[in-house]
Amino acid sequence: MFHLLGDVYVDHEVDSDQRSNQINLSQYRGYQWMPGFYDYQGTGMQLGWATSLDEVKPGDFYAMMLRAYEFRDKVMVYADSESYTRLYALLLLALFPNIDERTFKLFFICIKATYATGTVTLHDRSSFQEMTVVINRKVVQELWDKRKTDPLVKPMRQLVEALPEKTSLEWRILRMMATKDVGTIPDTIRNIMRRTAMSNSLDAMDDWGRVIADPTRWSVSGATEETLLDSDSIFQACVNFGDLANPTIRNPDTKKIAYTNQWYIDLLENIVKVLTDCGDLPSAGRSARLRELFLDETDVTVYENMLARLQRLFDGGNDNFRLGHSDSIKYNENLIRLAVRMSDEQIKALCEGSPW
């Protein structure tokens, strides 16, 4: 999956879900839904369809994607392999009119990596799931060779020009490095850090749940035989873990609560304690470094500070920040790392002529 614009995302048709608001671009599924299909409870809205992007006129493509962007809720573009890779190429060519061939191919390697890792972290997926989107030398070369003749590049460029702050984080980082304007990136990174802290809390309790019945561990957690039996949730018996033991934070809706910065600092302190006690030292180290960033009061609305934070998060070698699953399938860590390593000269060459 990759982020197109706003709340519009592109995924392979094998992951299609009738509950999603969607556009269908596929040889097999790119048809208008039958009348009455919407009568099924929970069915999303179909906002567009085509068996191939070749049959979509530039004006119709612009209108379809703009409608998806302006729709009230998240929209998925479910595409076959050909449309998936072409949409990604269109996005690259729209964002970077003067992109060179090597960078074009490197960006495709990054999206190939993200698609692969996204599928292996999902459960009950068949072993050939990774192969449903074909990204190889032949496919990428053909897309590169057609870069000046594809009629859909222009409408895609019009979209990103009109909505520069609605592009994915990776592209906004490159834009920031070209313009020295941080835009909305500080807010995005803050929210990612918060979601990652919540994700790390689940990892910590998963580790602790494997040893929670061991009496030799109870002095660490503050649990007793009585509290372990009497508590509604066995984790609630771990009174030394603060809100980490609160079942409320394992509720998906909790992610929407605006906790204070200090709350996350305290949560991560307990996460580090649990992970360390369970021997998961690499994860404990990553949570400790995340806590350090919550404690860091550097003004990240200043370009140099924001870039330094991104480099610390995504280009720290084995100490790299790891996104939670909900963000890792949306944001491309490989691409972000590639971006923050670029020199000023590389950024200038890449972004020259960009409409956004």
Tokens representing 272?
A: 């580090």
pLDDT mean over 28-50: 80
> Between 321 and 303, whose confidence is greater?
303
**Percent of the chain with pLDDT strictly greater than 90:** 63
Task: Output the pLDDT for position 15.
Answer: 85
Q: pTM, whole model, 2 decimals? A: 0.87
Q: Comparing 31-45, 109-123, 204-218, 293-307, which segment has the lowest mean pLDDT?
A: 109-123
Task: Output the pLDDT for position 75.
Answer: 95
Most confident of 36-40, 79-83, 131-135, 329-333: 79-83
What domains lie within the chain, and their CATH numbers?
2-165 (3.90.190), 186-345 (no CATH)
Beta carbons within 10 angstroms of residue 207's beta carbon: 19
Is the confidence at residue 298, as pLDDT, over 90?
A: yes
